[in-house]
Amino acid sequence: MNLDSTLRTEIQKALTALFNQTVEAVQLQPTNQEFEGSHTLVCFPLTKLSRKGPEETARLVGDYLVQHSGVVSRFNVVKGFLNLVLNDRVWLDVFQSIFVNPNYGQLSPNGEEIMIEYSSPNTNKPLHLGHLRNNFLGYSVAEIYKANGYKVHKVQIINDRGIHICKSMAAWQLYGQGENPENTGMKGDHLVGKYYVEFDKKYKAEIADLIGQGMSEEEAGKKAPIMQLAVELLRKWEQRDPETVALWKTMNGWVYSGFDATYKRMGVDFEKLYYESDTYLLGKEEVLKGVEKGVFFKKEDGSVWVDLTADGLDQKVLLRSDGTSVYMTQDIGTAILRFTDFPKIMGQVYTVGNEQEYHFKVLFLILQKLGFDWAKRCFHLSYGMVDLPTGKMKSREGTVVDADDLMQEMVDEAEKQTRELGKVDEITEEEALKLFEMIGLGALKFFLLKVDPKKRMLFDPNESIQLQGFTGPFIQYTHARIRAIIRKAESMDIVCTEADLKQVDALEPAERDALNVLSLFESRVKEAAREYSPAVIANYAFDLAKEYNKFYQNIPIFNETNPARLRFRIAFSKATADAIKKAMNLLGIAVPEKM
């Protein structure tokens, strides 16, 4: 049963009976902790129909609901707020509907398909902390959409071509001495990254040198030999020079095997990978079509532009005067290609940092101007940067937090703390290693996902490895605790049936509160999708765990002598554990049986 809509219906009935009128949307909100009740009707807006003061209006509605609705057992009025106490029978009915539904939290298929892009790294260096936020976000939003009944296609576009990879190639050619992942034992993405850094160092030295010889800074930037080599490699690559293409393939290959290992540990996956080298030419044709249609215009030098001044933006170049594509061009092409590959998707979600907000605003506008309906259903999931306590991450200053290193540190720290607590005494070494991984990554993911994606966030390493309070491990721990109860119940052959639920006559306040939170799961799953926000789920999982812990601390389950009530509590505990697990899975976080 849907408690919320049931209540709303009853309230509308009451308003009709009392005042012979209804309102479009009654304002129903959770009751503050300090007052008795679970749901509160805000009565200020109702004074217009009642033509009475807010308190009297509240009392009238409250009386009516107690007498006629069958769901409200009593109420209290504070100012214009009508706090409703529901029947325990109603709460048990709510629980029953959860109890009989093994898919609680998973909404039924809605027949819609959606594409979600995330990750999309450059191939010249390893992933860092910023990528972690991106990947965890994208993965989680995809899972949240699945839970909302969508068929989801996870994709990414890999920026495998361009000057950045040529820089690594140039440095490797000059100083690599045949190094590769095998003979160095280095992860491929890190090896390529090493040469990217190497490039930067040499480049800077060469510039300084040239400036010393009297050259201007701008000219030196262009004339530096290592940069000229990189540009030359890019030119050769575009001309399909076999040797250059071979080196490019080799080095990208190293990066991919490195990324694969990182993705695997992160626990993210993709249905299809798009490569920029395959798609970067695609947009050109569409742009030329747009010129014919008069959507774009050509300048005298041959460059093609779109004029967005009417939309409050600028003019934007789409093809260079030499006819080559820019970033925007290939994004137009890729977008169209994706809708060809997956004709049933109703829209696309781009998980990309907020520094590209302008870019996506322009992209979606252009797609609309080209006449693609689906452009309106494209969404830039824009997230804020991750800052360190020392400020912004800067590669130049070596403050970039490497994704692989960070994950390892989190797992090491989880191991240290877990061992200190003596939690590994009863499990095998193999189980223990799995547990450390689960806790370390759980802490990391939760830390990055608990904050509203739109907001810039601070990554404090000391805080991220905390295992108490508003953290992933706290929730994992609650799950493990409940599982211990379930195991015990199973060993005692305690099984709950619907008939047992019918025999429970009253609930403890702690049960009512916990049940209330449990009943909110599906509405939070919907909200999370609507807001594109895993933070909604993270907050919910925490609330649920916290509320259950209160119940757990308050009521020793196995002390209960009434059999129906005991069985209900076991079933309720199990349903809570299931919901915690599902919610955490929506965040990409696994939960342990023991910890």
Of 289 and 456, CB closest to RNA = 456
Cα–Cα distance between 409 and 389 in angstroms, integer? Answer: 17
CB of 61 vs RNA, minimal distance in Å: 14
CB of 196 vs RNA, minimal distance in Å: 14
Of 293 and 299, CB closest to RNA = 299
Indicate which single residue of 150, 296, 350, 474 sits in contact with RNA (rule: CB under 7 A).
474
Structure tokens of 49? 């129909």
Indicate which single residue of 9, 12, 539, 585 sits in contact with RNA (rule: CB under 7 A).
539
Cα–Cα distance between 324 and 234 in angstroms, integer? Answer: 13
Q: Nearest 10 degrees: CA dihedral of 367, 372, 373, 379?
A: -30
**Nearest Cα to 332, choosing from 270, 378, 292?**
378
Of 111 and 469, CB closest to RNA = 469
CB of 179 vs RNA, minimal distance in Å: 26
Of 28 and 215, CB closest to RNA = 28
Indicate which single residue of 6, 12, 27, 585 sits in contact with RNA (rule: CB under 7 A).
27
CB of 322 vs RNA, minimal distance in Å: 6
User: Sign (positive/negative) of CA torsion 437, 438, 444, 449?
Assistant: positive
CB of 529 vs RNA, minimal distance in Å: 11
CB of 18 vs RNA, minimal distance in Å: 19
Cα–Cα distance between 418 and 400 in angstroms, integer? Answer: 28
Cα–Cα distance between 159 and 405 in angstroms, integer? Answer: 23
Instruction: Scan residues 302-361 and list those touching RNA (CB under 7 A).
Output: 303, 312, 314, 317, 320-322, 326-327, 354-359
Indicate which single residue of 172, 270, 477, 568 sits in contact with RNA (rule: CB under 7 A).
477
Cα–Cα distance between 261 and 267 in angstroms, integer? Answer: 10
Instruction: Scan residues 76-105 and list those touching RNA (CB under 7 A).
Output: 78-81, 83
Indicate which single residue of 467, 514, 541, 544 sits in contact with RNA (rule: CB under 7 A).
467
> Using alpha carbons only, what angle is made at residue 293 by residues 292 and 295, rounded to the nearest 5 degrees?
110
**Nearest Cα to 360, choosing from 322, 387, 399, 332?**
332
User: How far from the centroid of its chain's Cα atoms is residue 35's Cα?
Assistant: 35
User: Would you give the binding string for RNA spanning residues 121-160, x where CB under 7 A is met?
Assistant: -x------------------------------------x-
Cα–Cα distance between 255 and 119 in angstroms, integer? Answer: 14
Which residues, listed in sequence order, are joined to residue 297 by a DSSP beta bridge? Answer: 305
Of 182 and 301, CB closest to RNA = 301
Of 179 and 508, CB closest to RNA = 508
Check binding of 204 to RNA (CB under 7 A): no
Of 114 and 165, CB closest to RNA = 165
Q: Total residues at the site for RNA (CB under 7 A)?
A: 92
CB of 185 vs RNA, minimal distance in Å: 30
Check binding of 427 to RNA (CB under 7 A): no
Q: Which residues contact 29 (CB under 8 A, 6 or more apart)?
A: 39, 40, 42
Following DSSP, what letter does each residue of 259-288 receive, concatenated? HHHHHHHHT---SEEEEHHHHTTHHHHHHH
Check binding of 488 to RNA (CB under 7 A): yes
CB of 78 vs RNA, minimal distance in Å: 4
99: left (phi over 0), alpha (psi -120 to 50) or beta: alpha
DSSP E strands: which ranges in 36-162? 39-42, 72-78, 81-86, 113-117, 151-158
Instruction: Scan residues 254-293 and list those touching RNA (CB under 7 A).
Output: 276
Indicate which single residue of 68, 235, 392, 502 sits in contact with RNA (rule: CB under 7 A).
392
> Using alpha carbons only, what angle is made at residue 481 by residues 475 and 483, rounded to the nearest 5 degrees?
105
Q: Helix (H, G, I), strand (E, B), or coil: what is residue 529?
A: helix
CB of 378 vs RNA, minimal distance in Å: 17
Q: Helix (H, G, I), strand (E, B), or coil: what is residue 583?
A: helix
Of 370 and 414, CB closest to RNA = 414
Of 37 and 258, CB closest to RNA = 37
Indicate which single residue of 480, 586, 589, 590 sits in contact with RNA (rule: CB under 7 A).
480
Check binding of 513 to RNA (CB under 7 A): no
Q: Which residues contact 173 (CB under 8 A, 6 or more apart)?
A: 229, 233, 247
Check binding of 463 to RNA (CB under 7 A): yes
Indicate which single residue of 423, 434, 512, 526 sits in contact with RNA (rule: CB under 7 A).
423
Half-sphere exposure of 239 (CA within 13 A, CB side): 8
CB of 312 vs RNA, minimal distance in Å: 7
CB of 296 vs RNA, minimal distance in Å: 14
CB of 308 vs RNA, minimal distance in Å: 11
Structure tokens of 83? 């706090």
Of 331 and 500, CB closest to RNA = 331
Amino acid identity, residue 30? P
Between strands 272-275 and 151-158, the pairing is parallel
Q: Which residues contact 366 (CB under 8 A, 6 or more apart)?
A: 290, 306, 316, 318, 328, 332
Indicate which single residue of 431, 508, 546, 585 sits in contact with RNA (rule: CB under 7 A).
546
Cα–Cα distance between 235 and 213 in angstroms, integer? Answer: 28
Cα–Cα distance between 9 and 134 in angstroms, integer? Answer: 42
Q: Which range in 12-20, 40-48, 254-262, 583-591 contacts RNA by CB under 7 A?
A: 40-48
Q: Which range in 13-21, 94-102, 243-251, 462-470 contacts RNA by CB under 7 A?
A: 462-470
Of 86 and 345, CB closest to RNA = 86
Instruction: Scan residues 549-588 and list those touching RNA (CB under 7 A).
Output: 549-550, 552-559
> Using alpha carbons only, what angle is made at residue 345 by residues 344 and 349, rounded to the nearest 5 degrees?
175
Check binding of 34 to RNA (CB under 7 A): yes
User: Would you give the binding string for RNA spanning residues 231-250, x where CB under 7 A is met?
Assistant: --------------------
